[in-house]
Homo-oligomer: A and B are copies of this chain.
Amino acid sequence: MADMLDRGTHDGAVRFGPLAESLGLLLRLSQLHSFHDFYTALERHHVRPGEISILMMIRENPGIRQGVLASALMIKRAHMAKMARRLEDAGLIERSVPPDDRRAMELRLTAQGELRAAEMTPDLEAHEARNFGGLTPEEAATLRTLLRKYLALDAPKED
């Protein structure tokens, strides 16, 4: 093994330079890292990763409208429309037009959707318990808190 001069010849020896301080890149790489683990942990439920969060959100917010859910998950309405249609075709959610606004589309879980969501929950929690990467559980908790604050998400308002 030579000295450290031959960087760039192996995976672990690449210099990130200023990019190592880029929050955007760090978030991107972390998201990819977490996503890969997430996908392998839940693939056996035959539900796409993006659809999982939709199911869980509808379970927490029955009757939520597509656009509201889309902006909560930071995806576009066009994409939400496709996924909602697919989940409806799969029999997991039900879409209904509310009488007070016939443009809108309210989303609710079907019985089958509830079952699927309940089936996924343990795997989700197990994934969360393992998804610390190189962090201690305390550091992971700090990380979550910081991310929620970064997103200005910490406003758990109760009705």
Q: Which size class do A's interface residues fall under?
A: 35 or more
A12 touches B157 (CB 8 A): yes
How many of these chains are in the complex? 2
B27 touches A27 (CB 8 A): yes
A78 located at the interface, meaning its Cβ lies under 8 Å from any Cβ of chain B in the complex: no
Select which of B57, B134, B153 is within 8 A of A149 by beta carbon. Answer: B134
Select which of B2, B32, B68, B151 is within 8 A of A30 by beta carbon. Answer: B151
Using A16-B60, A17-B60, A128-B21 as known contacts, say yes or no to A10 and B68 having CB atoms under 8 A apart.
yes
Identify the 6 closest CB pairs spanning chains A and B, nearest first: A17-B60, A133-B150, A26-B147, A7-B72, A13-B157, A14-B72
